[in-house]
Chain A
Amino acid sequence: MLEATATADWHRRLMLGLLLAPALLWLFALIVLPHLDLALLSFREPVAPRVYQPSLAQYRTFFTEPLYWHVFVRTATLSAIATALTLLIAFPVAWTITKLARGRMGALLFVVCLIPFWVSETVRTLGWMILLRESGVLPGLLAHLGLTNGPVELLYHDATILVGLVYTSLLFMVVPLVGSLESLDNSLIEAAYDLGSSGFAILRKIVIPHAAPGITAGCIVVFMLTLGNYLTPTLLGGKNSLWFTEQIYSQFITRFNWEQGAAFGFLLLALSTAMVWLGLKLSGQRFSDVMRRT
C-alpha cells in the first residue's frame, strides 16, 4: 500500500519534471539569460582587444551624443502620436462593428478588417511605397487633378511614417476594442439618453469607462509594437526615418559595436516596459488580464 503511494508520487514528480523542462529551458535559455547577458554587455567597455572593464561609458555616450538622444525622444513621440491616431480611427470602426451593424454585417465587417493583417507587413509596406513614391499612384493622381504642380514626393516624411505605423497597428487596436464594447449593454446608453444626456456625455461617462480595459490593452500593444518597429519607418521614412531600432541595428550589425547596441537595446526596453507599466497603473489593470485580452 505504502509502496503504491510512493510509486504514484514518483510518477507525479516525473511528469512534473517532464512538463517543467521545456518551459524552463525556453524561458531561461532564450529569455532570462540572454537579457542578463545583454545587461552585462551594456555595462562594459573594451580597453584592449578582448579585454573589457565594467563601465557606464555606453550609457554616457547615449546622454552626451545629441543624435542618439534626439532619435530616442523622436521615436517615443512619434510612437505616442501613432498610438493616439490608431485609437481615434479604430474606435468608430469598433463601434460600428459592435453597435451599429445589423445581424451578420458586424461579424462580416470584423472579418474584413482583419484580412489585411493576414498579409505580411512587407507586402503592406510595398503597397504604400507604390502609392506614395514620387512616380507612384497618388502623386500622379494629384498632379492629374491639378491639385499639385507635377508629382510630389509623398514618401520620406514623418507623416508617411505615421500613416504606415497606424495602418500596421489597426488590428491590434480594433480587436481589444471590439471585445470590450461587445459587453456594453445598449440599455445603459438608452437610459442615459432618456434622462437627457448628450452624446458627448454618454461617451465620456458610460462608453469610455466601460471600454477602458480594451483601450488600455490596445494602446499598450500598439505603442510597444510601434516603438519596436523597424520595417515601416526605414522603408517609408528612408534616410530621414531616424528610428531608434535602426540605431540598434547599425551598432550591432553594421558597426559591430555590441556594447553600445546592448545599451541602446536596454534603453528601448526600459521605455517600452515603463509605458506598459504606466498604462496598467493608470487603468488599474493586471498585466496577465491585459495580455489575455489581446
Chain B
Amino acid sequence: MIPSLPRPFWLRASTAAFLVAFLIFLFLPLVVVAVFAFNNANYPAPPWNGFTLDWFLGNESLGRVGLFKDSQLLASIWTSFVVACWVTVLSVVVGTANAFLMERAKFPGKGALSMLMLVPLVIPGVILGISILAFASRVADFASDVFGLELDFLRPGLPLVVLGQFSYIVAIATLTISARLKRFDRTLEDAALNLGATQPAVLRTITLPYLRPALIGSAAIAFLMSFENFNTTLMLVGADSPLTIMMYGRMREGATPVLNAVSLFLMVASALLALTLMRRNDRKDA
C-alpha cells in the first residue's frame, strides 16, 4: 500500500525483492548481448574466453569478420537508415498537415476521418504488410496489362517498405502533433495578424516554433519505429534487407558474435538519441 499507511515488514521486503528481480529481468538480456560482443569465442555463448575486439575490427585474414568489415551488415544498416529517413520525413510532414486538418479545419465527415486515422494503430503489422503487398501488386499488374507500364516501385522492395511503415507511423505522428497543436493559444496568432503579419509569416514565426518540440519528438519516434520495424517490413522486403530482417535471417542460422557487436552499436545509438531528447526536454522545463 502507500507510504503513509503502516506496511508490515514482509510486504516491504517482498516489494523490494520484486523490484530487484524485475530490474534483473529487464536488463539481463541486454547485458548478455553487450558482454558477449567481446568474448573471444566463435559463438555468443559461455564460457568466457577473454576479451577481444575481433567482432568489431576482425577481417577475413583473422577468420573472424567483425562489424566494420562485414559489408552485408553495413549495407543493411545503411538500408535501414535510408528507409528510416524517408519514413520520418513523410510521417512528420503528413502528420503536421493532418494535425492542422483535425484541429483547425471544419468539414463534413471530420469525425469519421478522425476515427479512421486511428485504425492503422490497431491493425497487426503483418496484415498491413500483406494488404499493401497485394494491393500494390494488383495496381502494378493492372498498369502492366492495360498500359504496358512496368511500375517497379510497386513490387516488393524498399519503396514499398517505406510506404508500409509510413502507413501506421504517420498515425502516431498525427496524434503527437495534434495533441500539442490543441493546447496552442490562438490569440497569439490573432495578435500577430492584427499587427500586420501575413498568414505564412505567422505560421513560420509563431505556430511552427511552438510545435517544434512535438515535431522533433515525433521525428525521433518515427525514425526509431522505422529502424526497428520488423512485421510490416518482412512482408514487403525485396532484395535489399534492412537491418532487422538481416539480423533475423542470421539469428535463425545461429550467428557469430558479430550480431552482438551490431546490437551493441544499436544500443549505444538509441541511448544517445534518448539522452539528446531528454536533455532538450530538461532545458525546456528549466
Contact = CB atoms under 8 A, between A and B. Distances in A.
Interface of A: 15-16, 18-20, 22-23, 26-27, 30-35, 37-38, 41, 89, 92-93, 96, 99-100, 102, 111-113, 115-116, 118-131, 133, 135-137, 140, 167, 170, 186, 189-190, 193, 199, 202, 220, 224-225, 227-231, 234-235, 245, 248-249, 252-253, 258, 261-262, 265, 268-269, 272-273, 276, 287-288, 291-292
12 contacts: A30-B120, A30-B132, A30-B167, A99-B2, A122-B248, A124-B30, A126-B247, A186-B2, A189-B1, A234-B252, A248-B127, A265-B131
Interface residues of B, number: 87
A119 B266 contact: yes
B131 A131 contact: no
Contact of B28 (A93, A127, A261): A127
* Interface secondary structure of B, over-half rule: helix
A288 B47 CA distance: 51
A136 to B, nearest CB: 6
B227 interface: yes
A92 to B, nearest CB: 6
> Which of B114, B118, B166 gathers the greatest number of chain A CB atoms within 10 Å?
B118
A248 B134 CA distance: 13
Contacts of A261: 130
Nearest to B29: A127
A38 B163 CA distance: 17
A229 B19 contact: no
B66 interface: no
Given A126-B33, A129-B251, A38 B122 contact: no
B33 A127 contact: yes
Contacts of A22: 93-94, 97-98
A291 B119 CA distance: 10
Interface string B66-100: 00000000000000000000000000011001101
> Which of A37, A113, A119, A193 gathers the greatest number of chain B CB atoms within 10 Å?
A119
Top 7 A-B residue pairs of the complex, sorted by shortest distance between their CB atoms: A127-B29, A228-B124, A34-B131, A34-B135, A120-B228, A118-B270, A30-B167
> Which of A111, A224, A265 gathers the greatest number of chain B CB atoms within 10 Å?
A265
Given A26-B167, A93-B22, A248-B130, A130 B33 contact: yes
A19 B164 CA distance: 21
Contacts of B179: 292
B15 interface: yes
Interface stretch (B56-64, B186-194, B230-238): B230-238
Interface string B4-40: 1100000000010011001101111111110010000
Given A31-B119, A96-B15, A252-B130, A127 B30 contact: yes
Given A22-B98, A23-B98, A37-B138, A130 B15 contact: no
B126 A230 contact: yes
B122 A276 contact: yes
B117 A23 contact: yes
B33 A228 contact: no
Interface string B151-182: 00000000000011011001000010001000
Nearest to B12: A100
Contact of B114 (A35, A136, A199, A288): A288
Given A116-B30, A167-B29, A291 B118 contact: yes
Contacts of A268: 124, 126-127
B122 A35 contact: no
Nearest to A90: B22
B131 A231 contact: no
B5 A193 contact: yes
Contacts of B211: none
Contact of B134 (A16, A41, A229): A41
A140 B93 CA distance: 51
